[in-house]
Amino acid sequence: MLYFIGLGLGDPKDITVKGLEIVKKAKRVYLESYTSILTVGKEKLEEFYGREVIVADREMVEQDSDSILQGGGEEDIAFLVVGDPFGATTHTDMILRAFQKNIPYKVVHNASIMNAVGCCGLQLYRFGETVSIVFWTEEWKPDSFYDKISMNRNNGLHTLCLLDIKVKEQSIENLIKGKKIYEPPRFMTVSCAAQQLLEIIEKKRGQGDERLAYTEDTVCVGLRKVGSDDQKIIAAPLRRMATVDLGEPLHSLIICGDLHPVEKEMLEMFVEEKGCLDACIPVESTV
């Protein structure tokens, strides 16, 4: 059996009892290491599990998945995923490959950022489509997610922004030359994401767009290390979020839509500027 096991968001103990029992008896245990990261390294996992963990980087998962699936029909293989196994489309692809090879599989779910963001007080059923924000370069500044934010905001819904992670990435030069030299890991901060969001609306203004999806005063929520003992939450206007330092990764960002009174009351616990929520549209006015 091939098992896809969610690890949750915090530390090694966040794995479920069912997941831990499978890990302890599996023939091989892989840790997917590029769609997200735990707050601890694989050494801590090995210490807690009492067995070896094989790191499965992007290259292995996307180009050499057969080595992971090998023997999956005759023995138990555990594929560990930070958060929930279905938090990234890559894992759906793995399941399809297993199906095509007639390898049976099971999924052990866990908490992910997709539901844990409720810790800030915003109600999960009032979120629209989730978007991803990637690191910009001088030559490449994608903003296709802007239309999704606009659609969510027009419907009064919140937008969860998943921020870019660069782990074991190659520079264009080394990629072209075929050199296996990797760049240092980089993790996007809420301030970096906010700066890019501000640049997008400046461009939209320059193009004469009078109906912006959001403005400098739109309330956002920055989250750091959700699920850990030292998680941090801040609610602030976008202009302030562009300068805030939330500390070490991982970060997530929420662009708020209309606020239910209970949501507003909860966010008041995390504001830096008193009164910054006053301009938010209450849910009652849109019903």
DSSP assignment letter at 60: H
User: H-helix or E-strand containing 262?
Assistant: helix 261-267
What is the distance between the alpha carbons of residues 135 and 158, in angstroms, rounded to a whole number? Answer: 22
Task: List Cα–Cα distances, 196 to 52, 125, 163, 202, in angstroms.
Answer: 40, 27, 11, 10
109 annotated ligand binder:
no
| Cβ atoms of 133 and 164 closer than 8 Å | yes
64 annotated ligand binder:
no
| Cβ atoms of 20 and 48 closer than 8 Å | no
Closest CA to 73 of 99, 45, 104: 104
Helix runs in 17-57, H state only: 17-25, 42-49
What is the distance between the alpha carbons of residues 201 and 60, in angstroms, rounded to a whole number? Answer: 38
228 annotated ligand binder:
no
What is the distance between the alpha carbons of residues 204 and 29, in angstroms, rounded to a whole number? Answer: 48
Give the DSSP letter string of 76-143: -EEEEESB-GGGSHHHHHHHHHHHHTT--EEEE----HHHHGGGGS--GGGB---EEE----SS----
10 annotated ligand binder:
no
163 annotated ligand binder:
yes
What is the distance between the alpha carbons of residues 241 and 41, in angstroms, rounded to a whole number? Answer: 29
The amino acid at residue 95 is I
254 annotated ligand binder:
no
19 annotated ligand binder:
no
- The alpha-carbon radius of gyration of the chain (Å, integer) is 21
112 annotated ligand binder:
yes
Q: Which residues are annotated as a binding site?
A: 9, 84, 87, 112-113, 163, 226, 251
Binding residues for S-adenosyl-L-methionine, by number, are 9, 84, 87, 112-113, 163, 226, 251
